[in-house]
Structure 1
Amino acid sequence: MNELNNKNPFKTPEGYFDTLSDSLKDRLSEVEKGLPGKDGFVVPDHYFDGLQGSIQQKLEAESKKVIPFHSYRKYYYVAASVAAVILLAFVLNRNTSQKVTFEDIANSDIENYFNDSELDFSPYEIAEVIPIDELEIGDMLTENLNEDSILNYIDYHTENAEELNMEYDE
């Protein structure tokens, strides 16, 4: 910082500040000579005495009818809401005309319902509901049984296959 102060390129002439105040006074006296001697605006005599009364008379006399710009906005809102309600009523009524029947439900959905939900039905309770006359073995099984798979099952799950009184074709 000191280096900057020592190398200041600006210099003032000698005795400049001694004569500064005199030069400012001379310039101000020249400016005052150019100004007009009297004011350009004049207020009439007793103007402020009757000002309040004249303003009050003008305010009372100028009661004009005002036309609002947005007077119909509330009617637009009402019309839009009525149209929305009518449209919603048509959409909801159109979708309720189709009723879902038991035949519309896919068999896989029914099976998934019974598999996923724990209904705690015993096999005897289910057998009471299902008619046996119309029931076939193929309705209960997903795979077709052949004779070999039945014999393999019996051999594996029974200890004494001879107790079943089966005749083997060996």
Structure 2
Amino acid sequence: MADAKGSASLWPWLGIALAVILLDQFTKTLILGYYQLGQGTPVTPFFNIVRVHNTGAAFSFLAGASGWQRWFFIGLGLAAAIFIVVMLKRHGGQRLFAWALSLILGGALGNVIDRALHGYVVDFLDFHLSGRHFPAFNIADSAITAGAALMILDELLRVRRGR
């Protein structure tokens, strides 16, 4: 139940984040169990399943660093998670915004789990066209992207309502 400030119960939003984490970790466990590093399976003319390890961040940013980036990205992910939980507590009544935050939270923690367990993030969704490949990604990355898109949509709708 939301109060006048727009806050609501935190539990449904944490449940969404947990669902993202579980789906993300389940798919990564399958990839780790069935594929060797670099091994892949063509699925369509533009999509492969491939096992890739990313020690960096988005688009392999800092992947070539000496190892310190693992702990940096774990810390950054945990700090972001704490901030997002605080935001969910304050704005849980704003449904679209809370959905966005929940997806981002689940995705961030899914990748933090990988870094903590393996020292890298397991990526496996590989889209390509005419020999050009988009960097491989995973369910957590997809959730973060969808959450960011929902956050932008929420802001655009908020601005439009303000006119």
TM-score range, shorter chain: under 0.3
Structure with higher strand content: 2
TM-score (norm 2): 0.17
Structure with higher helix content: 2
Higher relative contact order (CA 8 A, sep 6+): 2
TM-score (norm 1): 0.16
Larger Rg: 1
